[in-house]
Amino acid sequence: MTVGMTRRRSIVSLFTACLAITACANLGESDSSRVDLIRNRGELRCGVSGKIPGFSFLQRDGSYAGLDVDLCRAFAAALVGDADKVEYRPLTAPERFTALKTGEIDLLSRNTTFNLSRDAAGGNGASFAPVVFHDGQGLLVRRDSGIRSLRDLQGQTICVGSGTTTEQNLNDAFQSLGLPYKPIKYQDLNQVVAGYLQGRCKAMTSDRSQLAAARSGFEQPDRHEILPEVLSKEPLAPLSSGGDQRLADAMRWVVYALITAEEMGITQSNVDAKLQEARDNPDLTQMRRFLGVEGDLGSKLGLSNDFVVNVIKAGGNYGEIYNRHLGPTSAVPIPRGMNQLHSQGGVLTSPPFQ
């Protein structure tokens, strides 16, 4: 009797366990968007580097700051309604795609180059938002080394970070010139910098923005120079794991909202006044749609109709974010160049909010 009971109980518990496992196993297959998950959690999990001044860098008080970080904040403002509700996950270059794919983070805003292999379903299968920083790979050398161009680096050692497109670009550049070279690969930019400063390599290579950021921390920055050659196009963009249209659309239009806001002259400080102006003046249809006073653009994305207002209040428009972290008065000044609005001679532009 007791034996039978125990046995029956064990069968019941076995089936319960089976059910639980089945339920968990099926969770991954469901069609629901990650947007709902983020909303329910009330917090956005954003993958960043944490080690690149100007893009994402750990501050003295333990917070993160930079262009990539402000984008996380803008996404959180649109998705959760509060720019402060972000949990930052510092990730190394090789870790980042695994973290995204396994769902440990919701999205990645970490100096990631947008290219075909990473976008395609047969590659990393990610969904990229629009480019937020147009960069290019360069080489940093000592001024007194006598190296003035790529050809002077023939047969020399070059420090490079592994697990990045940087390594491939370097190889392509030297192979097309038919020059031999010797890469010393490290896992992390800090080690690349240490290897270069310790004299292991004649040059170090990375995106020019990262070289500028790294050089700003050197003891004598003016003793080092970035070679004029640009080895690659490095359009940096935030991304989400593929196959989730709602999240991908939301990210895409948040980035476009930042660019459009700069085009329309809407800033963090005047957004309330502009909103009032749009409410009072029915003729400003374009601005009314943009700020969610009329129409249902936000709702179509599955966001609040005035998500643009939240996004601009979080950190201002694209130009404001850029100037805060990379502008002439910032710690890591990088000329805006290609990253100007199209009307100012750059390449940034946004499709219409219609």
Partner 1 sequence: MSRRRSRWLELVLVIAVLTVVGILVNNLAVNLIRTGLGLSFQWLWQPAGFVLSEHSLPYESGDSTAWALLMGWLNSLRVIACSILLATVLGVGAGAARRSFNPLLRRLAALYVGSIRQIPLLLQLLFWYFVAFLGLPSEPLAPLGALIRLSNQGIGILGLNISVEFAAVLMGLSVFTGAAIAEVVRGGLDSVPRGQWEAFRSLGLAESPGLRLVILPQALPAILPALSSQYLNLAKNSTLAIAVGYADLYAVSDTTITQTGRAIEGFLILLLSFLALNLLINGGMQVLNRIMLLPGQRN
Which range binds partner 1 by CB under 8 A, 19-27, 40-48, 55-63, 277-285?
A: 19-27
Which range binds partner 1 by CB under 8 A, 82-90, 117-125, 129-137, 318-326?
A: 117-125
Q: Which of 33, 127, 164, 339 binds partner 1 (CB under 8 A)?
A: 164
Chain centroid to CA 277: 33
Of the CA atoms within 13 Å of residue 169, those in its CB half-sphere come to: 22
- Among 191, 247, 255, 201, CA closest to 224: 201
Size of the site for partner 1 (CB under 8 A): 53
Nearby residues of 76 by Cβ (< 8 Å), 6 or more positions away: 43, 44, 46, 82, 83, 84, 85, 86, 314
Binding mask 74-103 for partner 1 (x = CB under 8 A): -------------------xx--xx--x--
Contact flag: residue 6 with partner 1 (CB under 8 A): no
- Among 174, 70, 177, CA closest to 132: 70
Q: Which is nearer to partner 1, 49 or 350 (CB)?
A: 49
Contact flag: residue 118 with partner 1 (CB under 8 A): yes
Chain centroid to CA 94: 15
Q: Which of 111, 124, 310, 317 binds partner 1 (CB under 8 A)?
A: 124
- Among 271, 304, 238, 275, CA closest to 80: 304
Q: Which of 112, 157, 210, 232 binds partner 1 (CB under 8 A)?
A: 157
Nearby residues of 61 by Cβ (< 8 Å), 6 or more positions away: none
Chain centroid to CA 296: 28
Contact 70, 63 (CB under 8 A): no
Instruction: Report the residue count for the chain.
Output: 354
CB of 21 to partner 1, least distance (A): 6
Contact flag: residue 256 with partner 1 (CB under 8 A): no
Residues in 171-230 at the binding interface with partner 1, rule: CB under 8 A: 171-172, 174-175, 181-188, 191, 194-195, 198-200
Instruction: Quote the CA–CA distance of 191 and 214 in Å, as a whole number.
Output: 11
Q: Which residues bind partner 1 (CB under 8 A)?
A: 7, 11, 14-15, 18, 21-22, 25-26, 28-29, 93-94, 97-98, 101, 117-118, 120-125, 157, 159, 162-165, 167-168, 171-172, 174-175, 181-188, 191, 194-195, 198-200, 241-243
